[in-house]
Structure 1
């Protein structure tokens, strides 16, 4: 079976992984999150420079962890988009260099397909039909999946403004909490009352797009509530109530997609899938609806090289055509399938 090297650099994590026949042999990850913290968000040029410094040692660490040699690698898969333009370009250039040096084919992977594929490494092949809820700092999407390597990916809905993870970061800033906001809000919310404040459930009205999301208004509702509040700010209650609104909105729409598209499996992936309340509410609602919930372990929810290698493993075994060295970084790549194609732009 072919051995696939995967490289991921779409945002602020530099990841590499090696997968063979659906088994993760080894991976490594570096994050530049601490370098972005004082800016309250990811700075693309800082991320790109961090990738440039980290990518070679991270690939070496992954190869060492897998107990293989570079000569054993049969193909290279690399994120070609979407993501931060300069960040994607660093990883893509590295992927081309490894493929050229090793004399092996190159595959440009769509970042969101990587998130969907990573669960295969822990829980085995996906069913013939399932709904995927992808929730992260940059993406909030509902997808209808078939065979990831062979079938088109049906994009059911997206956020029209802030992604869920972005909203967590912005609300954390409103509450005087550090970046990144997701983990700290999750932690603080455990001491709060999720019913203390009735924040809106955005885009859930009868005339709204059934699978669309909008979290900018929810963030603004939190800001207005904080501005109006007199006395000490009940940070834990605000955090818990905001988190509940996000979890309710995400899971409500995901379960609706399952029901309306005849899918008995919900795949939930991305950094926000690590949130304890989102997970708990998804489990509760899936159980009530008779839907199987699949969520990878927390370390595989965030961006990583294993997920890109997982896509590479699937498409190579399916006989998909490789890319050539004219493959270009596509920061706004439209999701139609697992692979990204096209020249430099």
Structure 2
């Protein structure tokens, strides 16, 4: 008997990207994302502007996702959406739309944890090897830095997290100090590839156990730049590539110090990364180099690193198989725990 094809429409609206994907089981038929350039002039996401943009984007994005998938809404078996964490106003737009569509079509509603989605993106059928359970998941983004023990599709335990800022924020704030645009993470990565990572030394903050801390690093970068530009106003311009390389080198060092500790303490040498910062070339190269140490490493395709709806859809697919559905009383939660 042929396997039944389950069509799931997934919506992601946790921050400033309005995204919709259509999946046929674990295959992505379409994956549409509408960004919001309005935030660039502010150097960061403005929550109220983000929610308003979601309201104008969501209908055309959903229409395009269905069109690209080549199916009609009547063929769908379930509607998935990001339940949290994220910006409350943004989450509400996606949640409300998903509920309305689910109710009008008379099909199940499935809420998905955003960070679980980042890790489960590895299970989209792309032809690439997939991690086996258990594995250590590393979620790295502008709002999160977590080490997660992934025991099953929806059985995850956070074993380490940041005590203050996330690694993505450390990249962006460091870039802002250097006068780079927003988001600064990709720009630092670009300059770092042309610089000397050992040109300047920055401190590695201490945090207990498998936890992280990045606030002290940002402060150290700020004081360093203030001190050097007082001596030479053109210091940044003269040394931008080396500064970026040194910043990136140190942030990667901080990140992997705890990943290595997690591998050693758990005895699990299978590591998968997810989240926007997993697009960083330095982090990818560092993780791949660990294969020489016997690690099994998994890096998501670039289209599944930043916020996208395909990762929400694959997480929802496994919930659908287990008949884990949500009711219309379900509410978005900006600080939901994994």
Q: Distance in 1 between matches of 2:90 and 2:242?
A: 37
Shift of 1:256: 2.1
Q: 1:13 aligns with which of 4, 17, 20?
A: 17
Cα shift readout 1:157-208 (whole Å, capped 9, x = no counterpart): 11111111111111111001101011111111122111011111222xxxx3
In the alignment, what sits opposite 1:310? 314
Distance change >3 Å, CA 133–CA 224, structure 1 → 2: same
Counterparts in 2 of 1:121-270, with a 5 A limit? 121=124, 122=126, 123=128, 125-149=130-154, 152-203=155-206, 208-229=207-228, 230-231=231-232, 232-233=234-235, 234-270=239-275
Shift of 1:287: 1.5
In the alignment, what sits opposite 1:338? none
TM-score, normalised relative to structure 2:
0.94
Q: Which moved more, 1:21-30 or 1:129-138?
A: 21-30
Distance change >3 Å, CA 101–CA 126, structure 1 → 2: farther
Shift of 1:124: 5.7
Which structure 2 residue ranges, 5 or more long, are not aligned?
A: none
In the alignment, what sits opposite 1:46? 49
The answer to whether the Cα contact below 8 Å between 1:81 and 1:111 also exists between their aligned partners in 2 is yes
TM-score, normalised relative to structure 1:
0.92
Q: 1:83 aligns with which of 86, 99, 110?
A: 86
Number of aligned residue pairs: 326
Shift of 1:72: 0.9
Shift of 1:101: 1.2
Shift of 1:210: 2.6
SS at structure 1 position matched to 2:62:
helix
In the alignment, what sits opposite 1:69? 72
The answer to whether the Cα contact below 8 Å between 1:4 and 1:75 also exists between their aligned partners in 2 is yes
Shift of 1:128: 1.7
Q: Distance in 1 between matches of 2:77 and 2:58?
A: 19
Which structure 1 residue ranges, 5 or more long, are not aligned?
A: 336-345
Matched, 1:3 2:7: yes
The answer to whether the Cα contact below 8 Å between 1:27 and 1:63 also exists between their aligned partners in 2 is no
Q: Distance in 1 between matches of 2:249 and 2:86?
A: 28
In the alignment, what sits opposite 1:342? none
Cα shift readout 1:210-252 (whole Å, capped 9, x = no counterpart): 3211111111111111011122222211111111111111122
SS at structure 1 position matched to 2:152:
coil
Q: Distance in 2 between matches of 1:293 and 1:137?
A: 22
Q: Which moved more, 1:17-26 or 1:252-261?
A: 252-261
Aligned-pair Cα RMSD in Å: 1.2
Structure 1 stretches of 4+ moved >6 Å: none
The answer to whether the Cα contact below 8 Å between 2:118 and 2:139 also exists between their aligned partners in 1 is yes
Matched, 1:110 2:113: yes
Cα shift readout 1:96-131 (whole Å, capped 9, x = no counterpart): 011111110101111001101111113365312000
Q: Distance in 2 between matches of 1:17 and 1:265?
A: 28
In the alignment, what sits opposite 2:98? 95
SS at structure 2 position matched to 1:153:
strand
